[in-house]
Amino acid sequence: MVSTRSLYLPFLLALGLVLHSGASTAAPSLAEAIKQADAKYLDVPDVTPADTAPKIEAGGGEEAATPGAQEISEGTLKATLSYIEDKSTEGDVTRAPVVTVFADGKEVAKLEGDSGGSADPPVSVQIAELDPGNSNPEVVVSFYTGGAHCCSDTSVVTSSPDGSTWTTIDVGEFDGGPMLATDLDGDGRYEFETRDNAFLYTFGCYACSEAPLEAIAIENGAVKNVTSEGRFKPAHQAWLKSMIENVPDEDVNGFLAGYVGEKILLGEGKQAWDLMLAYYDKASDWGLEVCDQPLNQEGDCPGQEVKLTFPDALQRMLKENGYKIEN
């Protein structure tokens, strides 16, 4: 007679093999799938932008801090940082930063920031070569506007080709504190390295959002988005490397949007799109309600709100911001 135990042991062994086989064929996680798809980027060298330009980085000290005046210069170009102080009836002191630019001893620009309610507001000033269309370096001035995750209000003071006149260019407001320009591709010319703010909060919370690298230059006295230029490919590769080293386990749609955007810039958008279709969070509705017509000047929807799927909403958002998935 065969014992129950002798029958039970083979059954357990067989069940173990089935379970082990099932585990070995389980679908990879999002992080595993991305690292498999992008294995070639895991060992790309990091890109460390060069910045040896004269600069002032001030602010952010203790509440009772009293910042002093500072100045930097290069050749006949000089920039000074001073403050306008205001005291409330309760005795609270706030200071607004003021940057004055001089060329050949003459004042050519004066920019005033906001105190943001601070006695020591963050501000940065830098003299660097940004625009090859003239013979003078530029002065970067970046004030902090305050608020959650925001913002650097950045301007560039630049001369005409012959150096006879100077103008102030509004570069824009960007996520984070005061900006400095850097030589992102090592050619001796400075650019602004930031991330595409259009991706922040669009399909997830701020911390849940990923965004592609964005490079902004000054050319012939105008702001130019140079993100897609081939000279920045090493920077994009390094950016993607850092991105795929921090793949979230949940709330993945905000990450996937930025991942697809960066892969488009590297010419691999179709691969990323297919991966997104396999892994996006179908339960999340963040950012899926959109207007069926362009928003009016007040930012309101003149038509009706419609709810899209995440792939449809992402495709629409990418198209609106100049990202095209190759066929």
Query: Distance between CA 158 and CA 233 in Å, rounded?
Result: 28
> What is the CB neighbour count within 10 angstroms for residue 283?
6
> What is the CB neighbour count within 10 angstroms for residue 265?
20
| % of the chain beyond a pLDDT of 70 | 90
Per-residue pLDDT, averaged over 270-276, amounts to: 97
At 85-124, the pLDDT tens digits run 999 999 899 999 999 999 999 999 999 999 888 999 999 9
How confident is the model at residue 146, as a pLDDT?
A: 79
DSSP code per residue over 283-318: T--TT-EEESS---TTS--SS-EEE--HHHHHHHHH
Beta bridge partners of 290: 306
At 1-30, the pLDDT tens digits run 444 444 444 444 444 544 444 445 678 999
Question: Over 70: is that where the pLDDT of 71 sits?
Answer: yes
Domains and CATH numbers, the chain: 29-47+238-320 (no CATH), 55-181 (2.40.128)
Q: Which of 155, 156, 154 is nearest to 178 (CA)?
A: 154
Confidence band, pLDDT 50/70/90 cuts, at residue 299: confident
- Entry pTM: 0.86
Contact 123, 58 (CB under 8 A): yes
Question: Over 70: is that where the pLDDT of 242 sits?
Answer: yes
